[in-house]
Amino acid sequence: MQLEIEIKFSLNGRMVQTKVPPTMTTLVMLRENFDLTGGKLACGEGECGACTVKIDDRTINSCLMFAVDCDGREVQTIEGLGGVAGLEIMQQAFVDHGAIQCGYCMPGMIMQARYVVDQNTDKSHQLSRDDIARGLEGNVCRCSGYTKVVDAVAAVILDEASA
C-alpha cells in the first residue's frame, strides 16, 4: 500500500488537513485534494511559473515542491488573493490593461507580480519596468507579449505609492 502522510497547514488563511503520498507535488495536492485549479501544470519542470504559489513569504514553483513540505506552513494561491470579496488590485489591473489573453499563465503570473511588488519594501526605490520584467522572468506567457503585463504591474506600483 502507498504510504500517506497526514499534513496540516494554513491554506488561503484557513487551517486545513489532508493526506498525501510523500512524492505528490504541491500543485497536484492543491488541484486534486482542494479543487484549487488556478495554478496550472504547464511544463512541470520549473521553467514557466504557471504553478506559482506563495509559501510563507516566498513564491515557489509548486510543480517542484513536495506537498508534504507544506505541513505547518502558510500557503497562498491565486484563489486566496482576492477571494469571494472580489478581485484584488493586481488582478483588476491585469483585467483593466488587457494583459490577459488565454489566461493559462495568469494565476502564476499574478501571484508572482504581487510578490515582486510586495518584496520591494524600500519606498525610496520605485521598481522600474526592467525591475518588473526581471521579477517576472520565471513566468512564461505564450499569448500576451508581456508589454501589457508590465503596464499592469507598473500601474499597481503607481497606485499603491500614491495611496
Q: Which stretch binds ligand FES (CB under 6 A): 66-74, 115-123, 125-133, 137-145?
A: 137-145
Cα–Cα distance, 150 to 103 (Å, whole number): 16
**Residue 3 touches which of ligand FES, ligand FAD, another protein, none (CB < 5 to 8 A by kind)?**
another protein
Residues 103-122 that bind another protein (CB under 8 A): 112, 115-116
User: Which one among 51, 60, 75, 150 touches ligand FES, defined by CB under 6 A?
Assistant: 51
State in angstroms the smallest separation of the CB of 55 from another protein.
8
Q: In what side-by-side order are the strands of the sheet with 5-11?
A: 14-20, 5-11, 74-76, 52-55, 58-61
137 touches another protein (CB under 8 A): yes
User: Cβ(64)–Cβ(133) under 8 Å?
Assistant: no
Q: Which residues in this chain contact ligand FAD in the complex, by CB under 6 A? A: 45-47
Contacting positions for another protein (CB under 8 A) = 2-3, 5, 21-23, 25, 44-47, 49, 52, 58-61, 63-66, 68-69, 71, 112, 115-116, 134-135, 137-139
Contact residues toward ligand FES (CB under 6 A) are 41-44, 46-51, 61, 63, 100-106, 141-144
